[in-house]
Chain A
Amino acid sequence: MSGRKKTLLKVIILGDSGVGKTSLMQQFVNNKFSHQYKATIGADFLTKEITIDNNKQVSLQIWDTAGQERFQSLGVAFYRGADCCVLCYDVTNEKSLNNLTSWKDEFLVQSNVTNPQDFPFIIIGNKIDVDDSKKIPSLQKKLQNITNNQLGGLNYPVFETSAKEGINVEAAFEVIAKMALQQEELNDANGHDVSDDYNDAINIHLESEYSGCAC
């Protein structure tokens, strides 16, 4: 098989229920927005092919997750092999901002990544389209507190977006893709690439009408 295998980058979106994880993914992949996305149960993903650094083609596999914490205990099933983690909050919901640290910790515990110290995270504050009156008072200051490295905070790139209006979504995901690519290359270099060259011999199926009870 050809040596040039397309790079698949796995991105996990986390954050409190209702901050707009599904909307962000939908806006980025399908350029659409709906008020009627149901609460995500379980997990699902969408894939989008993009070109970064001018000529590098990558597939972004974006995983949308449920926001209620208790459902994260099953996250271990799909965090595996993640290349980047997106922490989302809602600019009108202070609690969702305060919870970012625990989302990050939870991810590191569940995903078992090899480089927890420098694993790529990115922060997205969504819903900037809403009235200023509803936004968290002195948002920037609170955000700074959370991201301040001196305070052991989340020193990661921050994007403020509107999934509804499609503002800044593309830009955020471009950075996500670049960070994910670096992580993937790092893993490759460390020999952690798990992509298997499966055997694709023609499989001839002999099927019989008889019931196959293996007991």
Chain B
Amino acid sequence: MSRVLSQSEVELLYAKSKTYLHPTSAKKDNVPGYLTLSRGKNGTNLDILLSFTPETQLSVEEVKIYNAVDLEDLALDLEAISLSSKNNTNTNTNTNTNSKDRKISNTRIIPKPSVSLLSGYSFSVPLSYLYSIQVRKPSLGFWFGSIVINTKDGEKLPIVFFHDDESPSSKSRHKLSNKRFDPFDESGNMYWGGQEFIEVLEKFINIEKSTVTSSVYLINPDSHDLRNFAPLNIKDNSNNNNNNDSIKKIEPINVPDIGKLFASAKWKVLETVATISAKTKNQVMNIIEENAPLTIKQIMNKPEVQRIGDEFDSARIYLAKWAQQVKEEAEESQRKNMLHNEIYNKINRELGSSEILTNEEISQTSRRHPINKQEWDSFFDYSGRLILTVDEVKSRIFHGGLDNEIRKEAWLFLLGVYDWNTSKEEREAYKKSYETAYDELKLKWVNDEDKRSTEFWKDQKHRIEKDVNRTDRNLPIFKNPSRKHSGSNANANGNSRESSPETPDEDELDDEFDISNIRNPHLYNIREILLTYNEFNENLGYVQGMTDLISPLYVTFQDESLTFWAFVKFMTRMERNFVRDQSGMKIQMNTLNKLLQFMLPNLFKHLEKCESIDLFFFFRMLLVWFKRELEWDQVLQLWEILWTDYYSSQFHLFFALSVLSDNERIIIQNLRKFDEVLKYMNDLSLKLHIDALLIRSELLFLKFKRMIDIIDRENSLKSINSEVYGTSTTTTKDEIEISSEIRGLLSKEIVIQKEGPRPEGVGGG
């Protein structure tokens, strides 16, 4: 029984049952289906469709055909099928005369698999569209072998896993090879589904094993591709041998490989854009239309190629941002469509955490909802004494943060203004004594006219006022009151405390941003607190950036003395950021550098090439703990999490690392110079997604900790071995050294570095 195909039908050439997509790391989410090759009417070998169809999308009839084809004797059938067109396997001509009106056996006819590139959990692409296939055999730790399919425009199809133990055809072939007493083929490889698939594919199309990475097969490569896979490029390839990509498989909109896209853009920008799948293309084009700066638009529309070379440098930074925006949009739509768990699994897979962490460890890291008033109150007994352990509370805060309404209570514990073990009554008493102490400190400078007339004091006061006046003025609380309600006194803040002699002069109410004219009572209070702090910590004094640190505290407490003491406590750990010689910042950037080298070596190597390894672009993020990078609410959330010191007192460095890790691919592919990296990182400001980054930071930390454990164990084994067998002189030679900066990241003890006395004649600058 045979007949001619209709337009909507194809001939099923090959089918492999029980192949799976693993969209998440959870077994229950695995999608079983068929990996198939099929050819339509008059199709050449290049038109053969490579498809994955989930079992659930097939009718009972179709399943029968698929299973039958799967079980047929491969060797015999393939010879027959491929014979007819074997001759044009390696050419692009479509003079496939034999196949014209060729009759096809009914037992092989199926409806054409859906042509969309990737819809739901299925895909179907012509072989001409394939770029390379990476084959990963089953191995220890990877029970199932899999193939990674890359298309010509840099997109990755979902990874297909071969569950050979479930597939009837694989089982029978495996058995067969066992019977022949030759479980391994000539090349010494054990039988598995992926290898079989490559052998089948080879019958239809030219396949070249990459000379660089033997597990990669180039599909119908042209000479250009082969050149790029020549051994010279080993370095480049290994640079990108990171694990960032596996995640792309389930993203609804794949991020185009901008680096590759733009490299080829030099001669064919528009054409290249046109080859991207329709969905992505629209995304990209919209983004160009709406967001790309003029230069990019010009480039994209310029027919002549020459120009692009000239614009290339500045264009790259825009493209990087562009890629970032596409990525963000893709993630945004994912956030809408995916369960929270899935985002978390995605990050987890990307980091390869599962290879080094146990499931139990990983499962601890998911984000929870913020603690609300009711839950918070349940932590305390009737007398207001904590009934949980401090560690339990911190763990809860670390993983969820706090509702805004309980921050003014909880932050005082986190910052150490109140001891966790106090009762409510004791805290009331503390509050009173804090107020008295603050008033005394403040009166000291208020009553000291000599002090206030020194050059140093005037300078510092000028600095404070200037900065207070330009801190978070977009918040309603810091807007100047409208003139008619402001009253006659600039200190009309409802505070009974006496107006200090530093009260701005009333005559100067002519410009609301005039620095000598702080009319907003809250800004005025912040100014008083900072002037007092300037005296309280005489060596350090006020330094730029402190207004960014105090503002969230003030807005939360809205109480002058409590804010002062909270700020003092916060500054205990932040003082090292502000010391005159900047050594505290340098140490942190150096530690981050080492951490990066340890955790993201590929990115480190790339940044080295960009002369960006000083990580100068992290200066702002580290100095004021991402205050300028995150939205207000997110700042509050991040800080309370950092204050817990739950894993490390320097968890902010892991948060910084997570920002790098999140952008690793874009940076490596697009940025090449110091200024490009700096610009890209600076412009991430207000584009960070804190929840995803927090999960990533935590996983990075856990992975880090595990790596240290493993190294320590290795080292101790080595030293035992050499004690037993070797000479003692070589003991330390093979040991992997972990620097004290790196090991210090495991400590929960706050790092304190205090400013020394101010040298004579040196200002506060």
A→B interface (CB under 8 Å): 1-2, 4-6, 8, 17-18, 35-39, 41-45, 47, 59, 61, 66-71, 73-74, 77-78, 95, 198, 200-215
Q: 9 pairs across A/B with beta carbons < 8 Å?
A: A4-B310, A17-B765, A18-B463, A35-B470, A39-B547, A45-B679, A70-B543, A77-B614, A211-B356
What CA separation (Å) do A38 and B546 show in the bound complex? Answer: 12
Whether the Cβ atoms of A44 and B682 lie closer than 8 Å is: yes
A41 and B624 contact, Cβ closer than 8 Å, known pairs A198-B672, A203-B263? yes
- A33 → B minimal CB distance (Å): 11
- B68 → A minimal CB distance (Å): 33
With most chain A CB atoms within 10 A of its CB, the pick from B229, B237, B581 is B237
Can you list the 4 inter-chain pairs with the closest CB atoms, starting with the nearest? A211-B352, A69-B765, A209-B246, A35-B513
A205 and B473 contact, Cβ closer than 8 Å, known pairs A4-B310, A71-B544, A74-B582? no
Residue of A6, A38, A212 touching B241 (CB-CB under 8 A): A212
On chain A, the residues within 8 Å of B311 by CB distance are 6
A39 and B544 contact, Cβ closer than 8 Å, known pairs A1-B309, A205-B669? yes
- A127 → B minimal CB distance (Å): 11
Known contacts A211-B352, A211-B356; 20 additional CB pairs below 8 A are: A35-B473, A38-B471, A38-B628, A41-B623, A42-B619, A45-B678, A68-B463, A70-B543, A95-B459, A201-B263, A203-B259, A204-B229, A205-B237, A206-B216, A207-B241, A208-B148, A209-B245, A211-B351, A212-B241, A214-B601
On chain B, the residues within 8 Å of A18 by CB distance are 463, 466, 515
A209 and B616 contact, Cβ closer than 8 Å, known pairs A17-B463, A215-B736? no
Whether the Cβ atoms of B619 and A206 lie closer than 8 Å is: no
What CA separation (Å) do A209 and B664 show in the bound complex? Answer: 15
A78 and B678 contact, Cβ closer than 8 Å, known pairs A6-B310, A36-B473, A215-B711? yes
Interface residues on B, range: 35 or more
On chain B, the residues within 8 Å of A95 by CB distance are 459
On chain B, the residues within 8 Å of A47 by CB distance are 314
On chain A, the residues within 8 Å of B241 by CB distance are 206-208, 212
With both beta carbons as reference points, the residue of chain A lying nearest to B763 in the complex is identified as A69
On chain A, the residues within 8 Å of B225 by CB distance are 204
On chain A, the residues within 8 Å of B765 by CB distance are 17, 68-70
What CA separation (Å) do A128 and B310 show in the bound complex? Answer: 40
Whether the Cβ atoms of A208 and B309 lie closer than 8 Å is: no
Whether the Cβ atoms of B148 and A209 lie closer than 8 Å is: yes
Chain A CB within 8 A of B94 CB: no
What CA separation (Å) do A1 and B263 show in the bound complex? Answer: 13
What CA separation (Å) do A200 and B267 show in the bound complex? Answer: 12
On chain B, the residues within 8 Å of A203 by CB distance are 228, 236, 259-260, 263, 669
On chain A, the residues within 8 Å of B578 by CB distance are 70
- B23 → A minimal CB distance (Å): 14
Interface mask (B299-333 → A, CB under 8 Å = 1, otherwise 0): 00000001001111110000000000000000000
What CA separation (Å) do A153 and B355 show in the bound complex? Answer: 65
A74 and B616 contact, Cβ closer than 8 Å, known pairs A201-B228, A203-B260, A210-B243? yes
Whether the Cβ atoms of B240 and A5 lie closer than 8 Å is: no
Q: Which parts of B234-265 form the interface with A (CB within 8 Å)?
A: 236-237, 240-246, 257, 259-260, 263-264
What CA separation (Å) do A45 and B678 show in the bound complex? Answer: 9
Chain A CB within 8 A of B675 CB: yes
Whether the Cβ atoms of A205 and B260 lie closer than 8 Å is: yes
Chain A CB within 8 A of B266 CB: yes
On chain B, the residues within 8 Å of A4 by CB distance are 310
What CA separation (Å) do A44 and B685 show in the bound complex? Answer: 12
On chain A, the residues within 8 Å of B134 by CB distance are 206, 208
Whether the Cβ atoms of A200 and B263 lie closer than 8 Å is: yes
On chain B, the residues within 8 Å of A44 by CB distance are 678-679, 682
Whether the Cβ atoms of A209 and B314 lie closer than 8 Å is: no
Whether the Cβ atoms of A213 and B707 lie closer than 8 Å is: yes
Whether the Cβ atoms of A212 and B242 lie closer than 8 Å is: yes
B→A interface (CB under 8 Å): 132, 134, 136, 148, 159, 210, 212-213, 216, 224-225, 228-229, 233, 236-237, 240-246, 257, 259-260, 263-264, 266, 306, 309-314, 349, 351-352, 355-356, 459, 463, 466-467, 470-471, 473-474, 512-513, 515, 543-545, 547-548, 578-582, 585, 598, 601-602, 614, 616-617, 619-620, 623-624, 628, 669, 672, 674-675, 678-679, 682, 707, 711, 736, 763, 765
With both beta carbons as reference points, the residue of chain A lying nearest to B312 in the complex is identified as A200
Whether the Cβ atoms of A36 and B470 lie closer than 8 Å is: yes
On chain A, the residues within 8 Å of B614 by CB distance are 77
Whether the Cβ atoms of B547 and A73 lie closer than 8 Å is: no
With both beta carbons as reference points, the residue of chain A lying nearest to B616 in the complex is identified as A77
With most chain A CB atoms within 10 A of its CB, the pick from B132, B212, B619 is B619
On chain A, the residues within 8 Å of B616 by CB distance are 42-43, 74, 77-78
On chain B, the residues within 8 Å of A71 by CB distance are 544, 582
The majority secondary structure among interface residues of chain A is: loop
Residue of A37, A42, A45, A202 touching B623 (CB-CB under 8 A): A42
What CA separation (Å) do A42 and B720 show in the bound complex? Answer: 48
On chain B, the residues within 8 Å of A43 by CB distance are 616, 619, 678
A68 and B543 contact, Cβ closer than 8 Å, known pairs A78-B678, A202-B264, A207-B243? yes
- A161 → B minimal CB distance (Å): 18
On chain B, the residues within 8 Å of A200 by CB distance are 263, 266, 312
What CA separation (Å) do A202 and B227 show in the bound complex? Answer: 10
Residue of B242, B513, B620, B675 touching A45 (CB-CB under 8 A): B675
What CA separation (Å) do A18 and B466 show in the bound complex? Answer: 7
- A3 → B minimal CB distance (Å): 10
Whether the Cβ atoms of B240 and A206 lie closer than 8 Å is: yes
- B604 → A minimal CB distance (Å): 9
- B95 → A minimal CB distance (Å): 31
What CA separation (Å) do A200 and B315 show in the bound complex? Answer: 13
Whether the Cβ atoms of A207 and B244 lie closer than 8 Å is: yes
With both beta carbons as reference points, the residue of chain A lying nearest to B544 in the complex is identified as A68
With both beta carbons as reference points, the residue of chain A lying nearest to B599 in the complex is identified as A213
Whether the Cβ atoms of A2 and B351 lie closer than 8 Å is: no
What CA separation (Å) do A114 and B665 show in the bound complex? Answer: 37
What CA separation (Å) do A67 and B470 show in the bound complex? Answer: 14
On chain B, the residues within 8 Å of A8 by CB distance are 313
On chain B, the residues within 8 Å of A206 by CB distance are 132, 134, 210, 212-213, 216, 237, 240-241
On chain B, the residues within 8 Å of A2 by CB distance are 306, 309-310
- A136 → B minimal CB distance (Å): 14
- B434 → A minimal CB distance (Å): 29
What CA separation (Å) do A74 and B622 show in the bound complex? Answer: 14
What CA separation (Å) do A35 and B513 show in the bound complex? Answer: 7
A38 and B263 contact, Cβ closer than 8 Å, known pairs A70-B580, A71-B582, A204-B229? no
Residue of A37, A45, A211 touching B243 (CB-CB under 8 A): A211
On chain A, the residues within 8 Å of B352 by CB distance are 209-212
What CA separation (Å) do A38 and B620 show in the bound complex? Answer: 12
What CA separation (Å) do A83 and B310 show in the bound complex? Answer: 20
What CA separation (Å) do A61 and B168 show in the bound complex? Answer: 65
A73 and B582 contact, Cβ closer than 8 Å, known pairs A204-B229, A207-B244, A210-B352? yes
Whether the Cβ atoms of A209 and B243 lie closer than 8 Å is: yes
With both beta carbons as reference points, the residue of chain B lying nearest to A38 in the complex is identified as B470
What CA separation (Å) do A206 and B580 show in the bound complex? Answer: 46
On chain B, the residues within 8 Å of A66 by CB distance are 544
- B136 → A minimal CB distance (Å): 8
With most chain A CB atoms within 10 A of its CB, the pick from B136, B470, B543 is B470
What CA separation (Å) do A78 and B678 show in the bound complex? Answer: 10
What CA separation (Å) do A28 and B54 show in the bound complex? Answer: 59
What CA separation (Å) do A2 and B309 show in the bound complex? Answer: 7
On chain B, the residues within 8 Å of A36 by CB distance are 470, 473-474, 513
